[in-house]
Amino acid sequence: MRGYNNKNIVLHELVGLDAKVTGSHDRTQIGIKGKVIRETKNLLFLDDKGIIKRVVKKVSTFKFSEGRNSFVVNGEEINFRSFERTEKAFKFYRRRKLIK
């Protein structure tokens, strides 16, 4: 385990995690799942058995999984470039609850 928990998931690297879209303003994206292979400021790229799917972060809710642990994240909390997330997502980090 790389140290992910419900509170710090918004600050961590997401590439390599399994993800599923659990909610979205775009109903066609609900249920999309796969391994995060790339991210930009506004998009997550998920590999679903060799098919790459793009998901808009801001309007979606994600369930990220690593092993037995899973974390639900609102897309607005991660709608940053990965290298900016530590600095800009800190306000979301403070609001999130640590669930044991």
CA angle centred on 67, ends 82 and 73, rounded to 5°: 45
Distance between CA atoms of 87 and 46, rounded to whole angstroms? 24
Q: Is 1 or 70 the better-scoring residue by pLDDT? A: 70
In the prediction, which pLDDT does 27 show? 94
In this prediction, residue 1 carries a pLDDT of 43
Neighbours of 98 (CB within 10 A): 8
Domains of the chain: 8-95 (2.30.30.210)
Give the pLDDT score at 14: 92
Exposed e or buried b per residue across 51-62, where buried means at least 16 C-beta atoms within 10 angstroms of its C-beta? eeeebbbebbbb
pLDDT tens for residues 19-78? 999 999 999 999 999 999 999 999 999 999 999 999 999 999 999 998 888 999 999 999
